[in-house]
Each structure stands twice: as structure tokens, then as C-alpha cells.
Amino acid sequence: MAVVKATSSDIALLARLLRAEAEGEGIMGMMLVGNVGINRVRCNCADFVGIRTIPQMVFQPHAFECVLHSYFYQRAREQEKRLARRVINGERYWPAKFSLWYFRPPGDCPPQWYNQPLVGRYKLHCFYEPTGETCENVYNTF
């Protein structure tokens, strides 16, 4: 059962994001990127107030650098669409299970990003989840 509403074009858009952001990190890396994106749609807090759809999340200004590159605009492949459906249906994995931010630093993960604590690292990406009551919706189960 979907945890956010998604049309077939939303699934394709999310699939393109997964590939463009984390293809080099394999299936789990793409799933983690998807977790962060779906968390942003669900949370309605912090930098993501009013982000209620997958297109709003993907094209939020300054959210994903990949939308500036032609690779992102290639047609979605079936493998990534399957992964997008899985995260839309609520599959979550550590360290992105409750994370709202991730990035790929040139070296070690900073202990904080946007004043949020480091949760963990997967390959080259560092993941950060919100603290306190400011974003408690991200911790809701489905």
C-alpha cells in the first residue's frame, strides 16, 4: 500500500532521481535516496513544509543537483521504476529510514548537516535525520 500518492509519471520521475543520484551505489544506495525523498513528502516540516507530492520534492529549488544535468532527463528504466514503487510502498532502510538529508562529501561525514546529526553512511553518502519534535511526522509508521 502506497504511503504517498503516486501516478505512473511520479514513479518514473522518482526512478530517474534514484538513478541520477545513486546509480553507482547499487540497489541499496538508490533505495536510500528514495527513502529520503519519500520522507520529505511525508514530513511537512523543516525545509519541506508544503512539499506534498513527488514532483514538488524532486524539483524543490536547490534540493537535488542532478536535475541540472542531462543524465537525469533520460527515460526511466524498469529496474529503477521497481525500486521507486518499493519506496513508495513504504520500504525503509537504515541509515535513511527517518533521514531527511543526505550528501556526498569529499571525505569523512561531518557530524552534523543543517544542524541535524549524522545517522550513518552508506558507501559515499552520509545521512542525517531530524532531532526533537520539529519533524516528528517522519517517525510515524505506516
Query: Tens-digit pLDDT profile for the chain (142 aa)?
Result: 899 999 999 999 999 999 999 999 999 999 999 999 999 999 999 899 999 999 999 999 999 989 889 889 899 999 999 999 999 999 999 999 999 999 999 999 999 988 899 999 999 999 999 987 778 878 876 6
- Please state whether beta strands 116-122 and 125-128 pair in parallel, antiparallel, or not at all (unpaired): antiparallel
Cell numbers for 111, please give them.
Answer: 557530524
Q: Domains in the chain, start-ordered, CATH in brackets?
A: 8-139 (1.10.10.2520)
What is the predicted pLDDT for the residue at 57? 98
74 within 8 A of 16, measured Cβ to Cβ: yes
pLDDT number for residue 142: 60
Look at strands 116-122 and 112-113 and give their pairing: antiparallel
> pTM for the complete prediction?
0.95
What torsion do the CA atoms of 59, 91, 21, 66 make, to the nearest 10 degrees?
0
Alpha-helix residue ranges (DSSP H) falling in 23-142: 26-43, 54-58, 78-88
